[in-house]
């Protein structure tokens, strides 16, 4: 019996040592930590924890116990949510879609602004619980009713299910605003990362539905906006910067859109875009439209590879407007509401925000843009984590709150 216990202990120790060495190798030899990020030690520690949890999830997946995304979300959901004494949080279902409603406790003499929030995470990470504190903060500080949408996620639910869950929850909420004390003239769609992508895609969809309340504004934090060009300056500069490295990014995209990993190199060199679409997209998704200062950390222009028709047929959904809202027609863009855009310097998706800003402004849409020089992808949710918070996270939320108050 003692021999078996010793063997078990030795096996566990070797496993832990090997996993720890693997995480250290990945962090120090496969990722970049820019000096411009405040608290780089904190950043490194947080990323090592992320790598460790992800590695454990992948092991469980290979053993057939649980998929990696489900394991990550399980850990996120067991983190206890802190109660905010100034906000009433109600867990509801819109049909089968779980949502959380955040309402300030203080009485109001008039209907409040309504914020529909879609969380990020590439449909792989993220959950209602993970974003609970952020939504509480937005509700309390902006005196708004916040609806956070718990759309279904991969691997059980791939495109278009997560997006249509967001659409369905939005339409249901818009039809029942009086129930929640919301002013129909002050509705905001908000999200971060892929949640921001959903927010602007839904805004584009709703401009063709005049029977619903008109959206007053959209708030997009470091959004994912296009699947045409993966060689923009920010892709080249930040491809190894956590928490959205190229490997994490493409994993999320392929999981969501159910694209086989073998097409990664083809997408990277742009060979999946047919000639007619390439000509149209290059006018809207081009490094020439990005200010020069964002190329100073390094940029090598690259021509797309020869068109691969099979790749297009296998991956064409990434080029559709609901997955690449940056290429929407001008007449749709021109009808979009006032917009707040937040970009982060050390984010692989940074330039998509810059390109969308130009598209909106070219069509006369009022835009407020804030660039976070020490920011990285996903930083906003760290604002109240104490040991792992970063100064820019609270700045981002306060920018959002002030934008809402100024509407």
> pTM of this prediction?
0.96
CA distance 104 to 89: 9
pLDDT level of residue 79 (50, 70, 90 thresholds): confident
**In 266-292, which positions are buried (b, 16+ CB within 10 angstroms) versus exposed (e)?**
bbbebbbbeeebbeebeebbebebbee
Cβ neighbours of 141 (radius 10 Å): 17
Largest CA distance in the chain: 76
The answer to whether residues 202 and 149 touch, using CB atoms and an 8 Å cutoff, is no
pLDDT of residue 13: 65
CA distance 260 to 300: 28
pLDDT of residue 12: 61
Whether the CA torsion 148, 151, 154, 158 is positive or negative: it is negative
Tell me the two tokens of residue 182. Answer: 């919301």
Tell me the two tokens of residue 186. Answer: 């002050």
Active site residue 370: no
CA-based nearest residue to 187, from 112, 104, 109: 112
pLDDT level of residue 36 (50, 70, 90 thresholds): very high
Q: 164 to each of 7, 57, 158, 353, how far by Cα in Å? A: 51, 27, 11, 23
Could you tell me what percent of the chain has a pLDDT over 70?
Answer: 97
Tell me what the mean pLDDT of segment 165-194 comes to: 97
Active site residue 192: no
The answer to whether residues 245 and 307 touch, using CB atoms and an 8 Å cutoff, is no
Using a 10 angstrom Cβ sphere, with 0-12 exposed, 13-18 middle and 19 or more buried, the burial of residue 370 is middle
Annotated catalytic residue, options 235, 347, 351, 382: 347
φ/ψ (deg, to 5) at 187: -110, 130
Is 90 exceeded by the pLDDT of residue 8?
no
The answer to whether residues 92 and 100 touch, using CB atoms and an 8 Å cutoff, is yes
Is 80 exceeded by the pLDDT of residue 3?
no
The answer to whether residues 190 and 218 touch, using CB atoms and an 8 Å cutoff, is yes
Is 90 exceeded by the pLDDT of residue 291?
yes
Annotated catalytic residue, options 127, 193, 198, 382: 193
pLDDT of residue 6: 67
CA-based nearest residue to 170, from 147, 142, 204, 194: 147
Kindly report, residue by residue over 228-275, the tens digit of the pLDDT: 999 999 999 999 999 999 999 999 999 999 999 999 999 999 999 999
Higher pLDDT, 379 or 14: 379
DSSP assignment string, 350-363 = HHHHHHHHHHHHHT
What's the mean per-residue pLDDT of the chain? 94
Q: What residues are paired with 140 via a beta bridge?
A: none
Query: C-alpha 274: how far from its chain's center?
Result: 27
Annotated catalytic residue, options 119, 183, 377, 382: 377
Q: What residues are paired with 149 via a beta bridge?
A: 99, 118
Q: What residues are paired with 187 via a beta bridge?
A: 114
Active site residue 148: no
pLDDT of residue 9: 60
CA distance 397 to 77: 22
Indicate the SS3 state at residue 219: strand
């Amino acid at each position: 019996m003692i021999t078996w216990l010793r063997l078990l202990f030795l096996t566990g120790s070797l496993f832990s040592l090997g996993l720890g060495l693997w995480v250290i190798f990945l962090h120090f030899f496969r990722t970049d930590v820019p000096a411009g990020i405040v608290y780089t030690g904190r950043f490194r520690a947080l990323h090592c924890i992320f790598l460790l949890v992800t590695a454990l999830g992948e092991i469980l997946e290979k053993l057939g116990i649980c998929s990696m995304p489900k394991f990550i979300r399980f850990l996120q959901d067991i983190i206890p949510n802190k109660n905010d004494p100034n906000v009433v949080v109600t867990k509801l279902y819109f049909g089968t879609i779980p949502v959380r409603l955040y309402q300030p406790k203080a009485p109001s003499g008039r209907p409040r602004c309504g914020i529909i929030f879609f969380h990020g995470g590439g449909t792989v990470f993220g959950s209602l619980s993970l974003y609970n504190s952020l939504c509480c903060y937005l509700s309390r500080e902006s005196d708004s009713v916040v609806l956070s949408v718990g759309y279904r996620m991969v691997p059980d639910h791939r495109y278009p299910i997560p997006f249509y869950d967001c659409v369905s929850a939005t339409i249901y909420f818009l039809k029942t605003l009086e129930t929640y004390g919301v002013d129909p003239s002050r509705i905001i769609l908000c999200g971060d990362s892929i949640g921001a992508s959903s927010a602007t895609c839904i805004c584009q969809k709703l401009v063709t539905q005049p029977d619903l309340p008109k959206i007053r504004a959209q708030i997009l934090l470091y959004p994912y906006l296009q699947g045409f060009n993966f060689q923009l300056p920010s892709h080249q500069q930040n491809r190894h910067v956590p928490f959205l490295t190229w490997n994490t990014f493409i994993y999320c995209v392929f999981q969501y859109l159910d694209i086989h990993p073998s097409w990664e190199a083809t997408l990277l060199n742009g060979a999946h875009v047919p000639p007619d679409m390439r000509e149209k997209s290059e006018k809207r998704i081009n490094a020439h439209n990005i200010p020069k200062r964002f190329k100073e950390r390094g940029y090598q222009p690259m021509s797309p590879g020869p068109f691969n028709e099979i790749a297009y047929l296998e991956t064409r959904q990434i080029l559709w407007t609901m997955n690449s809202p940056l290429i929407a027609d001008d007449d749709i863009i021109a009808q979009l509401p006032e917009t707040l855009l937040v970009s982060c310097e050390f984010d692989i998706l940074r330039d998509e925000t810059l390109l969308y800003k130009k598209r909106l402004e070219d069509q006369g849409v009022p835009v407020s843009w804030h660039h976070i020089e020490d920011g990285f992808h996903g930083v906003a949710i760290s604002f109240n984590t104490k040991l792992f918070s970063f100064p820019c996270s609270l700045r981002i939320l306060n920018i959002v709150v002030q934008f809402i108050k100024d509407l």
